[in-house]
A and B are shown apart, each in its own frame.
Chain A
Amino acid sequence: MLQQKTNRKGAAGAVLGILALLLGVVLLENLSALIPGLPGVLQPTSQLFTVLKKGAVYALVVVSMNLLNGFTGLFSLGQAGFMLLGAYTYAIFTVPMDAKDQVYYLYGGSAVKFSLVDLFEGIFGTSGAGGGIALIFAVLTGLVLAGLVAALFAALIGLPVLRLKSDYLAIATLGFAEIIRAIFQWQTLGPITNGANMIKGFPTFADFNIKNSSGQVVLRLSTMVPFLVAAVCIALVVLLIRSSYGRAFKAIRDDEVAAEAMGISLFKHKMLSFVISSFFAGVGGGLFAMYVANAQAMVFTSTMTYEIMLIMVIGGIGSISGSVIGTFLYVACSEWWLRFLDAETYIGSFKVPLLRSGFRMVVFSVVIMIVVLFFSKGIMGEKELSWAMVRGFFQKLRPGKKAAPAEKKED
């Protein structure tokens, strides 16, 4: 009983927390419209919001990978492949009918003769609130479809490969992602996948900005949308991990033989974890397509999977909050804060050595190696962020009598 009560309290807290976060994001993005003369970083076109959008998208993908690798102990490297499936599914079904001829210009139009956008606009109308509702429904249906297609493929590929052991599974899923990419680039499937050309013109985050009748943006929601979708999906993953299924996953991770002896069906649970993880990777792929405003098979390479995996390691394998924190840190560093490393810089007339294009990635890979070798637990290890932890951290920061001697001992 007591357990249930605290759970309910925790759930309410979590929902409130998510709502507060979303509200904060909306506020942040519209701050410059309310108060003029703010620094450039708060302008809606600033790098900050690009980082936040990409961060939210990647956070979901990293969490989906963590569900598989960190909580079930299945080392899969197929994430980019499932993202590709999601991105293409979303893109193919949501390109509006009148944009199709331009997008599929090499193939004389698309073989998919309907569009979710037009479908819902037919029901709710195209302008005003009706258009908004149509857009929301079209995007949501597109994203869910994206996840389902990825999950379906996961179920198919899972049948043979999930029986494999750790590193064989990794290489088999990596190979699967490469095969998927080759198929989507095949010119013969052009009328559906647009071959080598990118699919564009589908609804993106920017379409969620609410405009008035003269076309001016009155309320910016473009950053809130990926946060909302990612937050809901991550919350679902957390619920799953806390359920009896999640405990079974962890048991499998810790000791397969013991788990089986306890009566946990290995294959069923591995499959479940694989399919669910792929579902969220697919949704993440759909969000990724919205973020880059196009879908092209070329970018979903093994390098992308490695990047996602390295973020997971930095955040902590087996920690959801670690993954989220790690993602935002990684994306902010690689896309924003460390960009100056790529530019040749002069301090006075002194040219700073080493700084030229490509240096950012070298520094980055060195940092990653240091994390992997010396801080293999990452930021959070297997722990989750909690209020107690935050409180503890600030208490540690305060130069109290208690903390000082304790720290000396650690050395």
Chain B
Amino acid sequence: MKKMIAILLAVCMVLSLCACGSSGSGASDEKVIKIGVFEPSSGDSASGGKKEILGMQYANSQVPEVELNGETYKIELVLADNGSSTDKAPSAASSLVSAGVSVVLGSYGSGVSIAGGPKFEEAGIPAIGVTCTNPNVTAGNSYYFRICFLDNFQADVLANFAMDTFDAKVAYCLGESGNEYDQGLIAFFTQVFEAAGGKVITDSFPKNNSDFNSYLNKAKSEGADVIFTPVSIAYAVQIMKQAASLGIEAPFLGSDTLDDNMVLEAVKGTDLKLYVSTFYQEGGSPEFDEGIKAYINANSEALTANGGNDTISAVTAMGYDAYFVALEAIKKAGSGDKAAIMAALPDVTYTGVSGDIAFDEQGDAVRDTAYIKTADTASGAWALETVQTGSGS
């Protein structure tokens, strides 16, 4: 019995090694340029990561080839799961490097981008951050670029929105303890809100927490005019569901993570008021909307990845744009060589579905607008509230 199992295990091992060896060598005479997709498909941010991948896959299905110097190159997406965790990110990054990718897209979530960044820098591969909004992603890493706005801009927009629209004096901010995304946004939000004379109450909950009743009751009791919750999707769903049963009347403000079907589903049929700042609003590019909806509905796996319906998340649009920015850089470089792409990337400009994209000297996108959407709780859809620009700080 024992021996059988041992032999079986050994056979599995050998087979897997063979499979591993052969999977790389499926080459034909076709010329291929590989684009690495560095995204979480497990862990806390899996939901967002999968939607971002969806945008890239759709873009890849639209334009699967690129013409360089009269030759046609096939574009191949190579996926690596960074597990939403900074300890798995370096090896996921180096698996992309090993696969010989020319440029990397991703990731959803800043922590993993910061952790994977040095691997790309070491290998000389440029990386295009899609929705990693933390300032430290591009700071100190010349190979990291990004096409989204930054946390301080996003927090600025939301704080101004809260004061302009709701005349808010007291804001209650709730984030996950130890999560740099949540805490960073809250810190920037606090700076802006307090500078304008408001009062901010900040609170944090431990990882894997599921009881938010106490926090929400506290927010109510302390007289919050708005509740700011820049948290991961799973927590956001939990918070919305519990807020609905507590009958919280103060409006909720969310960051780009809350722009997600799961969250929308959670507030559907409730009396909650939810506003999120995001990169893209459905209807911004009818052509893209139509195409991606058809793509999602035609493919059952894409539908599951999108949470079972065809509501378009902003991160999907961003993933779509990131693909074309990479393509633009490849065209400009005139080859699939990573160094050439790296040299070409800073000067790339592109008008995507989410707006104009250009990079500043830090590698960050030059963006001055964010969309603020509100959840239509009756129909379960997003509605555009306003297009807000920062206060210029």
Contacts and interface: CB of A to CB of B under 8 A. Distances in A.
Given A204-B118, A206-B118, A340 B19 contact: yes
Nearest to B89: A292
A357 interface: yes
Contacts of B41: 342, 357-358
Given A45-B98, A187-B183, A345-B23, A54 B91 contact: yes
Interface stretch (A27-35, A259-267, A293-301): A293-301
B100 interface: yes
Given A40-B100, A54-B91, A102 B139 contact: yes
B7 to A, nearest CB: 12
Interface in A89-134: 99, 102-103, 105-106
A337 to B, nearest CB: 6
A286 to B, nearest CB: 14
B201 interface: no
B3 A411 contact: yes
B119 to A, nearest CB: 8
Contacts of A105: 135-136
Interface stretch (B80-88, B210-218, B291-299, B376-384): B80-88
In the complex, which range does the number of interface residues on chain B fall in?
A: 35 or more
Given A206-B122, A357-B81, A338 B178 contact: no
B200 to A, nearest CB: 13
Interface string B1-36: 111011001000000110110010000000000000
Interface stretch (A150-158, A224-232, A367-375, A392-400): A367-375
A181 interface: yes
B160 to A, nearest CB: 20
Contacts of A253: none
Contacts of A238: none
Given A45-B97, A51-B91, A292-B115, A299 B183 contact: no
A384 interface: no
Contact of B20 (A99, A337, A361, A375): A337
Contact of A339 (B89, B95, B182): B95
Interface in B249-280: none
Contacts of A306: none
Contacts of A18: none
B91 A197 contact: no
Contacts of A292: 86-87, 89-90, 115
A375 B4 CA distance: 12
Q: What 5 A-B pairs are tightest by C-beta distance, nearest first?
A: A185-B178, A196-B183, A357-B41, A50-B94, A45-B123
Interface of B: 1-3, 5-6, 9, 16-17, 19-20, 23, 41-42, 79-81, 85-91, 94-95, 97-98, 100, 111, 114-115, 118-119, 122-123, 135-136, 139-140, 175-180, 182-184, 187, 202, 204, 206-207
Interface of A: 40-41, 45-47, 49-51, 54, 99, 102-103, 105-106, 181-182, 184-187, 195-198, 200-201, 204, 206, 288, 291-294, 296-299, 301, 304, 335-343, 345, 357-358, 361, 367, 370, 374-375, 410-411
